[in-house]
Amino acid sequence: MADIIFVAGSWHGGWYYASVVQQLRDAGHRVCAVTLSGVAERRHQCRHGVNLQTHIDDVLAAIEMEEMEHPILVAHSYGGMVITGVASQAIGKIRALVYLDAVVPQDGQSQWQLLPRALQDYFLSVCNDGLTLDPPEELDRRTSPHPFATFLQKLSVPEDAFDVEYKSFAWAELNPDGVFKQFHDRLVETPGWHVSRIPCGHDLMNEAPEAVLNATLEAIRSTEGRPE
């Protein structure tokens, strides 16, 4: 059985993965869907100083408190920044990385610099006094403002951050903003990555929850029986 951590994207909490989490628990896996500081049920913690490192620390703390060993990290969208940071700061302690239409940064990059100018302009238009970004109106009613500083902090990614047993990237090819195609195009040419396409938009848990489950199960199957 596997230990699995889910990290949602901007504006979302651990609730985003509820149906998949339940299926995996029913199958006997230990699963934690982390809600990051400043969003969802932790929105009261939003303050100046909440940044990308805060969110990395949230996940590292969850791994410690849940007493997970060599967990599989699964992330959507902005969550890719977070799990890359976790893998960078817990070298040799992560079993697999699963990126679901998620950011896969390289050393020294922030999420902000990976966004096209049009999206940067949009986010600036919904920024509240430099502290939070309002969620787009079309998202789930449970979404909440997201700490803006998390987009701006650059991440240090050592060369061995991705030295895990299994790593995959799934591109939601009907996502109209095109942000995540850049990661698909880079990783499909990078040895060791399992790259796929999902015929849906960016909101995977609402549009293709079975793809989220299958991507996670594939990471479990691909690492079963390997020495940790």
Select from 154, 135, 156, 129 the least CA-distant residue to 51.
154
Query: Are the beta carbons of 15 and 142 closer than 8 angstroms?
Result: yes
Query: Are the beta carbons of 6 and 21 closer than 8 angstroms?
Result: yes
Residue 204: Cβ-neighbour burial (10 angstroms; 0-12, 13-18, 19+): buried
The CA distance from 97 to 75, in Å, is 8
Catalytic residue IDs: 77
Token pair in block for residue 85: 């940071």
Token pair in block for residue 172: 């939601």
Quick one: angle between helices 79-89 and 52-65, nearest 10? 60
Query: Are the beta carbons of 16 and 8 closer than 8 angstroms?
Result: yes
Token pair in block for residue 52: 């990308």
